[in-house]
């Protein structure tokens, strides 16, 4: 699985533009973003990565594509703290954290890290 990351100017319509480009190709997204000052970053996964790649290219949207891990955690206080501490103690840096699904008992997220092999080893059973 891949996650796509796009840097934008923080102005009205930029997120709408991206979503319209994907909707025109019938690509469904799970998306999150943050803006601060004049800049913003959007990260997303797509249900059809090839179509997303093509849509981004055709629209002239410059995106970085990163390999991603999907992790499933208990939705309880401290679960994230324990997970991120294990990664940190193994020297793994989390570069993208994208919540995908939250229920009363489970939390599913996509992570882009600087060392996938080490992350998968450390997180073992949490990796989906």
Q: What's the first-to-final CA gap in the chain, in angstroms? A: 11
User: Domain range spanning residue 87?
Assistant: 68-126
Q: Are 57 and 82 members of one domain?
A: no
Q: Structurally, how many domains does the chain consist of?
A: 2
Q: Are 52 and 73 members of one domain?
A: no
pLDDT mean over 1-25: 95
Dist. CA 23–CA 8, nearest whole Å: 19
Dist. CA 42–CA 22, nearest whole Å: 14
**For tokens 């489970």, what's the residue?**
106
Q: What is the pLDDT of residues 15-62, one digit of tens each?
A: 999 999 999 999 999 999 999 999 999 999 999 999 999 999 999 999
Q: What is the pLDDT of residues 60-104, one digit of tens each?
A: 999 999 999 999 999 999 999 999 999 999 999 999 999 999 999
pLDDT mean over 5-14: 94
**For tokens 């103690």, what's the residue?**
89
């Amino acid at each position: 699985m891949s996650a796509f990351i796009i840097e934008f100017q923080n102005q009205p319509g930029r997120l709408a533009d991206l979503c319209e480009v994907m909707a025109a190709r019938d690509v469904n997204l799970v998306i999150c973003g943050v803006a601060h000052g004049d800049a913003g970053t959007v990260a997303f996964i797509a249900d059809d990565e090839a179509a997303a790649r093509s849509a981004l290219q055709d629209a002239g949207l410059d995106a970085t594509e990163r390999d991603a891990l999907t992790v499933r955690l208990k939705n309880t206080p401290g679960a994230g703290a324990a997970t991120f501490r294990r990664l940190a103690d193994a020297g793994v840096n989390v570069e993208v954290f994208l919540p995908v699904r939250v229920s009363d008992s489970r939390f599913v997220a996509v992570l882009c890290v600087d060392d996938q092999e080490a992350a998968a080893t450390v997180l073992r059973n949490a990796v989906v």
